[in-house]
Chain A
Amino acid sequence: EDKVVQSPLSLVVHEGDTVTLNCSYEVTNFRSLLWYKQEKKAPTFLFMLTSSGIEKKSGRLSSILDKKELFSILNITATQTGDSAVYLCAVGAAAGNKLTFGGGTRVLVKP
């Protein structure tokens, strides 16, 4: 059974801090790893990673994948209160057209 584990479960930081979120996975025939931000309702897409070692960046957010060690990290630098959300990691495997989600990391950024 495919498994995706995120850590930490939650964290509280102050504006300006840097956060690092972790996602480890065990899937058969890995194909892609995706990060989503979930505020109130819809998960909104952040990054899709398929290759090891290539950092993807979007503003203050960045992410990288390690297919040998089976994990990914999501970094948020210079955090703002608007970064407060649940961050979801999801993995797609060759056996089927579906994503397996982790439990999420809840981030609270205090002013």
Chain B
Amino acid sequence: EPEVTQTPSHQVTQMGQEVILRCVPISNHLYFYWYRQILGQKVEFLVSFYNNEISEKSEIFDDQFSVERPDGSNFTLKIRSTKLEDSAMYFCASSEAGIYNSPLHFGNGTRLTVT
């Protein structure tokens, strides 16, 4: 069964450094998302991406965050200058159509630790 793959599985970085989290969505999916889950808390929406542009973003997704689909297969999340509070599990997800019609399929996540 096709799946969403994320790399790396764990990333440790120092405060103020830039990180790029990578995702390969399911190949025929058109909608892409990033969510995060701080340890012990709810899964939170960050951003959705369709047709090469952001379709929605949350308040968390400020100027420090950006997303890109640099080629036909990868979808990346960049955090420009990491803060301690960015430590979380970051999940990439994709769906065939919008959320009204098709479920999101999640990757295994990247655990980001900011020290």
Contact = CB atoms under 8 A, between A and B. Distances in A.
A91 B28 CA distance: 24
Contacts of B58: 98
Given A98-B58, A99-B45, A101-B43, A41 B108 contact: yes
Contact of A32 (B50, B89, B100): B100
Interface of A: 31-32, 34, 36, 41-45, 48, 50, 88, 90, 92, 94, 96-104
Nearest to A100: B45
A92 B42 contact: no
Given A31-B100, A96-B56, A99-B99, 5 more contacts: A42-B4, A43-B43, A50-B100, A97-B31, A97-B98
Interface of B: 4, 31, 33, 35, 41-45, 48, 50, 55-56, 58, 89, 91, 98-100, 102-109
Given A42-B91, A42-B109, A98-B58, A88 B99 contact: no
